[in-house]
């Protein structure tokens, strides 16, 4: 089950900010150095509090924005409908991922994770949360509703969006707000029977969990807004939900001849030279299990795990079967561990393995001599991710890349108690109201 509640978002004041489209920014874990430098030059851009130069500066900026009415808190709690319209390279179809942003109770919700996190990033997010008492961007969660009960309601509110703009990904973002108590209650009631599968934002979620654990030790009430985490929830049943692959780049220039590396790769993989093919490597991979594109200087190959090698038996680390069956696990074990010599359990400690979402860049880094090899991967399937979630196991890092990413700055979610008390606030009442067998509120 999931316990959610409406909240009073802090949002950019459209009467005060004319160029509001310039205030949104990429999430902290995807913004690149060039983007970061450029965004720092824009006054009042959300990057100043989402990826601040220091946590103290984030608080200073936040206080300044509130005092100057640059951001303003909505007087009435609501649930924020968020749509992202996008297309994918090589496809003519237009996708629309539909969801809503809400506060989710950390103790009273089944939130299931599927990826490992990096401790340094979690600690940074904890410190920022402690300093600002603000969720600067929502994490992305999934729920399953094959009947699409909420989509019609969300569509009706999206007829009058608060914002509509094109982001750095080329994605059209639209935001609307639901403040009618009866409609808010429909979201709350629906989610009471749902699990949440975490799609993106593992570091931010774990930061909120660690922060809330400290507050409980200090005697905070379970009803506190500090027990909640800002999330963007989308429907697993929608075919507009897309996962893209994250390719692996081996950074150091190889000290040994490529022929020696390829000889060891052939112990585990069938190898086909596709250098002269006109088809893109990613296209040749589609639908092929345990198969990767190998980009080497002036050469391109398809490598496929040999049928006589059973990953369940051959992969030595004690991992659940559902993890051993993943392409990424097989790549990290058979190639990075067995061939290149990076122990599976400690691969997260090396900077030689780089995670690259951009297919073209993964190839260019090798062609330009900036990396030794690149491995082009297929995306994880939704069913694979759900199987991992239900098993309680964790995938290798950077296994799922849900596209598009949400943007930072559309709404900010305060967990400051003083900012969540309102004579018009039905949030706690709706979130906690008991239900009858039919699902209506008593």
Give the model confidence (pLDDT) of 108-153 as tens digits: 999 998 877 666 678 889 999 999 999 999 999 999 999 999 999 9
pLDDT single digits (tens) 54-63: 999 999 999 9
pLDDT of residue 442: 31
The per-residue pLDDT of the chain, averaged, comes to 92
Whether the predicted pLDDT of 263 surpasses 90: yes
Of the candidates 290, 280, 283, the residue with the CA atom closest to the CA atom of residue 315? 290
DSSP 93: P
Q: Which of 28, 214, 48 is nearest to 125 (CA)?
A: 28
Residue 119: per-residue pLDDT:
64
Averaged over 385-412, what is the pLDDT?
A: 91
pLDDT of residue 425: 52
Q: 439 pLDDT exceeds 50? A: no
Ramachandran bin of 280, using left for φ above 0, alpha for ψ from -120 to 50, beta for the remaining angles: beta
Among 58-62, 93-97, 200-204, 307-311, where is mean pLDDT lowest? 200-204
Residue spans of the domains in the chain: they are 4-242+402-432, 246-378
Beta strands, E only, 33-191: 71-73, 79-86, 95-105, 111-112, 134-135, 139-143, 163-166, 172-178
Query: How far is it, in rounded angstroms, from Cα 85 to Cα 199?
Result: 18
Identify the DSSP state of 439: S
**Considering only the top CATH level, what class is 246-378?**
alpha beta
Would you state the torsion angle of the CA atoms of residues 291, 297, 300, 301, taken in this order, to the nearest 10 degrees? -50
Span 418-432, pLDDT tens digits: 998 754 455 545 555
Q: Please tell me the predicted confidence (pLDDT) of residue 117.
A: 64
Give the span between the Cα atoms of 303 and 292, in whole angstroms. 5
Cβ contacts of 161-164, under 8 Å, gap ≥ 24: 162/11, 163/20, 163/410
| 327 or 89, greater pLDDT | 327
**Predicted TM-score of the model (pTM):** 0.90
pLDDT score, position 392: 85
* Residue 81: strand, helix, or coil: strand
What would the pLDDT profile of 11-45 be if each residue is shown by its tens digit? 999 999 888 999 999 998 888 899 999 999 999 99
Give strand pairing partners of 4: 104
Omega prior to 260 cis, within 30 of 0: no
Cβ-Cβ contacts under 8 Å for 152 (sequence gap 6 or more): none
- 244: Cα within 13 Å, side-chain hemisphere: 16
């Amino acid at each position: 089950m999931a316990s959610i509640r409406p909240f009073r978002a802090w949002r950019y004041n459209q009467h005060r900010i004319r160029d509001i489209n310039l205030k949104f920014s990429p999430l902290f874990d995807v913004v690149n150095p060039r983007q970061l430098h450029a965004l720092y030059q824009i006054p009042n851009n959300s990057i100043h509090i989402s990826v601040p130069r220091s946590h103290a500066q984030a608080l200073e900026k936040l206080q300044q924005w509130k005092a100057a009415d640059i951001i303003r808190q909505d007087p009435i709690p609501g649930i924020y409908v968020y749509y992202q319209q996008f297309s994918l390279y090589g496809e003519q179809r237009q996708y629309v991922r539909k969801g809503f942003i809400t506060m989710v109770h950390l103790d009273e919700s089944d939130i299931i994770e599927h990826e490992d996190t990096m401790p340094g990033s979690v600690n940074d997010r904890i410190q920022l949360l402690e300093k600002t008492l603000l969720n600067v961007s929502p994490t992305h969660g999934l729920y399953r509703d094959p009947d699409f009960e909420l989509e019609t309601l969300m569509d009706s509110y999206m007829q009058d969006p608060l914002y509509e703009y094109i982001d750095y990904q080329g994605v059209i973002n639209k935001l609307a707000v639901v403040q009618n108590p009866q409609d808010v209650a429909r979201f709350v009631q629906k989610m009471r029977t749902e699990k949440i599968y975490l799609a993106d934002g593992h570091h931010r979620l774990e930061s909120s969990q660690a922060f809330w654990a400290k507050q409980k030790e200090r005697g905070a009430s379970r009803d506190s807004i500090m027990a909640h985490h800002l999330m963007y929830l989308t429907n697993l049943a929608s075919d507009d939900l897309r996962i893209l692959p994250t390719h692996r780049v081996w950074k150091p220039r190889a000290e040994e001849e490529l022929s020696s590396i390829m000889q060891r790769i052939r112990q585990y993989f069938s190898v086909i030279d596709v250098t002269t093919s006109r088809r893109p490597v990613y296209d040749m991979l589609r639908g092929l299990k345990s198969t990767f594109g190998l980009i080497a200087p002036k050469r391109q190959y398809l490598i496929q795990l040999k049928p006589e090698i059973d990953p369940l038996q051959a992969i030595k680390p004690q991992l659940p079967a559902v993890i051993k069956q993943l392409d990424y696990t097989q790549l990290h074990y058979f190639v990075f561990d067995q061939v290149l010599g990076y122990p599976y359990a400690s691969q997260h400690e090396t900077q030689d393995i780089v995670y690259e979402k951009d297919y073209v860049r993964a190839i260019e880094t090798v062609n330009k001599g900036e990396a030794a090899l690149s491995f082009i991967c297929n995306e994880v399937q939704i069913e694979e991710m759900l199987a991992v979630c239900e098993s309680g196991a964790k995938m290798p890092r950077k296994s799922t890349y849900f596209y598009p990413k949400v943007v930072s700055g559309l709404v900010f979610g305060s967990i400051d108690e003083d900012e969540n008390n309102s004579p018009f606030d039905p949030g706690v009442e709706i979130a906690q109201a008991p239900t009858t067998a039919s699902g209506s509120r008593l």
